Chains A and B, each alone.
Chain A
Amino acid sequence: MSDVTFAELVLDSYYDELGAYARYMRMAGLAPTEEARRIVTMNAQDEFRHAESFEDIYKELTGAQPPPRGMYVTDPEESFEGLLRLQLADELADTAKYKNMYLMTTNPGYRDILFGAAQDELLHTMLDTYLLM
């Protein structure tokens, strides 16, 4: 896997993490209970931290800031549960994606970031599943 392709995946992940952060913050405003609000806010903080890490990797790989994403489509979902179901699917996909990216690189620093992100996303799937029960 070339560094260009890896950098593209990092950029894609950076956008995804910012999108997940925005969705979780929207969910925090719609949360039906204090417990749910606390969980989605904690998850939002993780996603923002991941976005910062991916931004750093992208800058290191390319020497450039991540370009603006362009047109951003907001979720059509209006309910907390609907957003939670969308996010749960994304968390599962991100866990697999970061595991694959971990296996693509030999850079120990990048591997640690991807390991941590994959573990966080898996934990989010559990917490999101709990909120659906």
Chain B
Amino acid sequence: MTNSTMPAMVKTMLNELKELTIVYGYMLQNAPTEESRRIVELNLQTVRMTKETLMDIYRVLSGETYAPIADPILELPVFTTFMEAARYAFFKETQLIRRVKDLYLMTDHCYRDQLFNIIVEHQLNAMRLLYLDTL
């Protein structure tokens, strides 16, 4: 099944990944320890892999190449601390997991393995962000 709303859902997720890339970029620059920097780098790698997968899915579903929104930075809050950014990223990750789960349940089996992989990888991202709060 290919629902007509699916390309729009994927596009929304790609825009959210762009936001997460910016937030993780800020966190990398302001990481208080080497361990926290490595954790953020892992999360950023996940975001990049997810972006590639979703761009492929978007291309197949819509027949078009994804064009990122012009300036998502305007919609981001200004972070004053590393942990403030981490908490924002945590909520963005949980939001993304919900959306990917909804997409998983709308799709046929040809995308399910890829989407299941994305769900688990971003669950790990969210757990790593919770761990950062314990350091």
- Chain A residues at the B interface, C-beta cutoff of 8 Å: 112, 115-116, 119-120, 122-123, 126-127, 129-130, 133
Contact = CB atoms under 8 A, between A and B. Distances in A.
Given A122-B123, A133-B133, A112 B94 contact: no
Contacts of A129: 130
B28 to A, nearest CB: 22
Contact of B94 (A115, A116, A126, A133): A126
B105 A116 contact: yes
A116 B101 contact: yes
B100 to A, nearest CB: 9
Given A112-B105, A126-B123, A130-B90, A119 B97 contact: yes
User: Main secondary structure on chain B at its contact with chain A?
Assistant: helix
A129 B128 CA distance: 12
A112 B112 CA distance: 11
B8 interface: no
B127 A126 contact: yes
B134 interface: yes
A133 B127 CA distance: 13
Interface string B96-110: 011001001100000
